[in-house]
Structure 1
Amino acid sequence: MKNVALSILFAFLIPGIFYAQEFKNHHNLSNGVAIHGYDPVAYFEQGKALEGKKEFPVTLYGAVYHCSSAENRKLLLKYPEKYLPRYGGWCAFAMGDNGKKVDINPETFKISDGKLYLFYNRFPVNTMKSWNRNEMNLMRNADRNWKKLITSKNPDK
């Protein structure tokens, strides 16, 4: 019975450890914190970018997300895949345009088909404008590029 319990534990624990490492290798984190500390749930539930608070953390796949309220924390814990940003929190336009990891401005975002997309935005460049002009093609390319990136052996690409 003890061996069966250990086998079950390792069957779930080991893949989770590897996924957490892959997440950390490919996702936009600053000292382990995602989205520059912004609340991923707020984009959906409050309709705006809100800075998270350190007292409402959620750790998912090796990354820490700061939520702006206890309620948003509960939602993120219950439905993490619903609220996490696409492409590891990197600029959606850059991922679609050339498959590169480019940092974002967490206040420049779009929700499309229930998914959160984040964009680079520093004067004079706002990549969300370019994304909006060719969203379907860029999204298709970004999906393809992201899949290639996360399945490659080179996390620094």
Structure 2
Amino acid sequence: MRYALAALAAFLTVPAFAGEQYVNATGFANSGYDVVAYFDLKQAPVGSPQPAAVPGSKAFTAEYNGSTFAFANADNLARFQEDPAKYAPQYDGHCAYGVAQGGKVPGNPDLWRIVDGKLYLNITPNVVTFWEEDIGGNLEKSEHNWPGIEAQPASEMAIPKFSPAAPKS
């Protein structure tokens, strides 16, 4: 019995495996935008558009969660390699509000917010409005919903009104 409890305790402390990272036609996670760069941008107040995402480069890439991430420079690549979970978008790059509603739709790299040191994406400006009406409540819902949907396949839906620029060479 003691060994069974020890095994159960060890199992419960291991992080859950993530589902598939959202990857669009660029072939890169986060549509080829640098996930580390968000943490260096000045975040806009709730209700205001965020600064534009920073494109990554094919010269600076790393694999994480079964996908290739691109970075604007070697420093950002190194920071990511030190702690990829710190920088990767939550919910495998899917829309935070979509997860709060119980589904998986892609996240738009231009519609982002960092909350408590974590990067969240949303799919459309209208969705950002709904999400920002109650960020805390929506995060509570998404954290509750995510374990039940994370193993579902990544969304194949295109991000509306978004034209990703493939990472520069």
Q: Normalised by the shorter chain, which TM-score bucket?
A: 0.7 to 0.9
**1:21-36 equivalences in 2 (<5 Å):** 23-24=19-20, 27-30=21-24, 32-36=27-31
Superimposed CA distance per residue, residues 63-106 of structure 1 (whole angstroms, 9 cap, x where no aligned partner): 1000011100000001111101111101101111x211112221
Q: Which structure is higher in RCO with an 8 Å CA cutoff and minimum separation 6?
A: 2
2:113 aligns to what? 110
Runs of 4+ in 1 over 3 A off after TM superposition: 154-157
Give CA-to-partner distance per residue, 1:106-136, whole Å, 9 cap, x none.
1110001000000112xxx431111110111
* CA RMSD, 1 decimal: 2.3
Structure 1 or 2: more helix by fraction: 1
TM-score by length of 1: 0.75
Percent of aligned positions that are identical: 32
Task: State the partner residue of 1:94.
Answer: 98
Task: Give TM-score scaled by structure 2 length.
Answer: 0.70
Structure 1 gaps, min length 5:
1-18
> What is the aligned length?
131
1:23/1:62 contact within 8 Å kept: no
Q: Which residues of 2 match residues 143-154 of structure 1 at below 5 A?
A: 143-150=143-150, 154=152
Note if contact 1:83-1:115 (Cα within 8 Å) is conserved in structure 2: yes
Instruction: List gaps (5 residues or longer) in structure 2.
Output: 1-16, 43-50, 156-169
Which residue pairs with 2:35 in the alignment?
40
